[in-house]
Amino acid sequence: MTVIAVLAEPPRPGLVLPDLAETSPLTEREAADLYAAMLKDICIAVERSGGDLLVNYRSDDDLPDEFVGDVSAEAEVRSIVTDALGGTDDVRFEPQVGSTFSARAGNTVTHLLEEEAVHSVAVVRPNVPQLGRTHIDSAAMKLRSTPVVLGPSTEGRVYFSGFREPFDFTDAYADPEVETLAEHADDAELGLDYIQMLSVVETGADLATLVPILRSRVEAERVVPEHTTTLVFEAGLRVESDDGVLGLVRD
């Protein structure tokens, strides 16, 4: 069984997806709402897969002072997951530990593999709404025979990183993530495999890639990430051509 660690932050304006608010028609509040929607969809995908869901949240002690609210970060993240799944009895929640994403991911993976003796651990962030049950289960199958499995995305990023053995995670997620992680795996003499490429959402350009895919799948009556797709349609987001240049617009 693979533990899927979703490294999540409380969806507070300006804290999550700051580049998206600066490069798209969405406000900081709407970008935070999109983050929450994607977090819900990822938790649903993990629940439907053969993996075990671990929500690794950033605690208030780890947040910049301006993003500490009246409601605790844990309570806010728990509320979102509860809304998505209808309950959290089968969900494990743990605070993140570490000063950087590489450190937080590495601490989670190393602890689970070495201290709890789980078979494999995967790290995902709530910014890949197309991640589905089949992707997670495909990666878990590969992890049975390969120590490291990566899900590549555009611009050298990764949306999924799975491990059967720990290694030195110092700066392991430095850009370009997919190349840096491969180098660390090679340094540790660990075999590496990949699953299907999917888009992540961090910028307006990323969202412009995702929106037509979601609208196309709705037209074709295919499966879509429910919460993310609903937000896209309610916000009136679409991609249009202006003198041959494609751009994200609102109705």
The yes-or-no verdict on residue 244 having pLDDT over 80 is no
Find the radius of gyration of the CA atoms of the chain. Answer: 18
Least confident interval from 62-76, 170-184, 191-205: 62-76
- What number is the average pLDDT over the span 70-87? 96
pLDDT band of residue 243 (cuts 50, 70, 90) is confident
53: in domain: yes
Domain assignment present for 124:
yes
Domain CATH number, residue 174? 3.90.550.10
pLDDT score of 241: 84
In a domain, 70, yes or no: yes
- Looking at the chain, the number of H-run helices and the number of E-run strands are 8, 9
Residue 247 binned pLDDT confidence (cut-offs 50, 70, 90): confident
At 13, list the tokens. Answer: 């304006």
Q: What angle do CA 30, 35, 39 make, to 5 degrees?
A: 145
Residue 211 lies in a domain: no
239 occurs within a structural domain: no
Residue 243 belongs to some domain of the structure: no
217 falls within a domain: no
Q: Cα separation of 143 and 211, whole Å?
A: 31
Q: Look at the chain and report how many structural domains it folds into.
A: 1
Residue 242: its pLDDT value, please? 81
| pLDDT at residue 69, as a whole number | 84
pLDDT digits (tens, 9 = 90+) for 131-167: 999 999 999 999 999 999 999 999 999 999 999 999 9
Give pLDDT tens digits for 4-26. Answer: 999 999 999 999 999 999 999 99
pLDDT in tens, 186-219: 999 999 999 999 999 999 999 999 999 999 999 9
CB 140 within 8 A of CB 163: no
Q: Can you tell me the mean pLDDT for 53-64?
A: 95
Average pLDDT over residues 39-51: 97
Write down the pLDDT at residue 66: 93
55 in any annotated domain: yes
Domain containing 147: what range? 2-201
